Amino acid sequence: MLVVHPHAGRPGIPGRRIAVTGIGVVAPCGIGRDAFWTGLLGKPPEGPRRVSGLDPTPIFGPKELRRVDRFTQFSAVAAAEAIADAGGLGSLSVDPERAGVMIGTGVGGLETVSDQIDVLRDKGPRRVSPFLVPMMMGNRAAADVSMRYGLRGPCEAIVTACAAGTQSVTAGARLIATGRCDVVFAGSAEAAITEIGVAGFSNMTALSTSGVSMPFDARRDGFVIGEGGAVLILEELDRAKARGARIYAEIAGGASTADAHHITAPAPEGSGAVSCMELALVDAGLSPGEVTHINAHGTSTPANDLAEGQAITKVFGSPGPAVTSIKGITGHSLGAAGSLEAAALALTIEKGQIPPTAGLTEMDPEIHLDIVTGAPRAWQPGPALSNSFGFGGHNGTLVMVPFA
């Protein structure tokens, strides 16, 4: 669990407080913090949620760009956005030895693998790119950010399917709370909308046949695949205050558990999710009654949404806190989902407004939650959770609170 500072005198585990001071986003609904937020409040697009309008050449240049997989491009642009949002590297005054990188993914450079398999089949092994391995490896995004900005602290890539983003942000916060780092670049990225990726998810019946993402809706029939990436600048709170940084929120706690049940199906009645949320609350020194909002995993698959709904009800009662899923807009971006949702949660706290769950019009009668639908809901910011649950039974919960 995450070692955190006691929030507002609550009995937590002593540690250094963690501020979110920069947000960088590459998402299907918008590139950059402001465009992303506007997109979350708008109408969902149709079909797979692809990122459009991305120009990574200012970061890589045209030659290097050909040697960088799309998921790494996403994380690089998001990191640059986050740095600018935090006031720039000069304002951050990063000590390279005390700056870390935690950028996860679900499948890494799938586009590169797919392309190079075609090369192998059509032109033979000698024509396979010598850059194949460094382009496809899951740690490439984290390594790229570390090298680009000279960050010599811990540099790691968490690969836990759809929980990777949430667990990366939690792990990054832990590095600050325990005193190892003062600044951490934390997030995740994914670019798996390829012919082979879509075929694999489709054949396992995970994708929506209607092509519509409908989290918690009685008619939901699977997720709509998405892509993207997000990076948050996490910073020790006193340091952030001393430099006059804008503080979106504090990370108060987090937890990780495993279902130990099935490679794709959630544990019955969301038991692994229950323990994850409960441990995260203990870590943050919060009681269930103090939580006022949950950014749900909410993928739009029948089994996941039901299990998560049951888990939230077991921990928080019914109707419980206000719940939303942004996947009606973003689709399910797999390993990138948790970091996009962490960014959304930090912005929700800053703006005092909860985005609606797009696509939900007919509530599943078996799910008894207070789900925000139709329009954004005005909200007095308070303690809030973000959930992510991945194939393999990986569960992650992140707790944020308003800065006070």
Mean pLDDT of 356-365: 97
Residues 6 or more apart whose CB falls under 8 angstroms from that of 164 comprise 104, 105, 106, 158, 188, 335, 338, 388, 390
Which alpha helices (DSSP H) does 86-155 contain, by range?
89-92, 110-123, 132-136, 140-149
User: What element of type H or E holds 203?
Assistant: helix 195-203
Calpha distance 9→29 (Å, rounded): 39
Domain ranges of the chain: 18-391
Active site residues: 162, 297, 332
Calpha distance 173→177 (Å, rounded): 6
User: What element of type H or E holds 338?
Assistant: helix 337-351
Residues 6 or more apart whose CB falls under 8 angstroms from that of 243 comprise 87, 91, 92, 93
Q: Quote the DSSP letter at residue 362.
A: S
Q: What is the pLDDT of residue 46?
A: 87
Name the residue with tokens 């407004």: 353
Calpha distance 70→342 (Å, rounded): 21
Q: Is 187 helix (H, G, I), strand (E, B) or coil?
A: strand
Is the whole model's pTM more than 0.85, yes or no? Answer: yes
Q: Which CATH superfamily is domain 18-391 in?
A: Thiolase/Chalcone synthase (3.40.47.10)
Split at pLDDT 50, 70, 90, the class of 404 is confident
**Whether the predicted pLDDT of 121 surpasses 70:** yes
Q: Is 381 helix (H, G, I), strand (E, B) or coil?
A: coil
E-assigned strand segments in 75-227: 99-104, 155-156, 183-190
Residue of 283, 298, 294, 341 whose CA lies nearest to 317: 294
pLDDT tens, position by position, 267-296: 998 999 999 999 999 999 999 999 999 999
pLDDT tens, position by position, 304-318: 999 999 999 999 999
Split at pLDDT 50, 70, 90, the class of 15 is confident
pLDDT tens, position by position, 335-348: 999 999 999 999 99
Residue of 305, 300, 391, 308 whose CA lies nearest to 106: 391
Q: Is 246 helix (H, G, I), strand (E, B) or coil?
A: coil
Name the residue with tokens 């948790």: 338
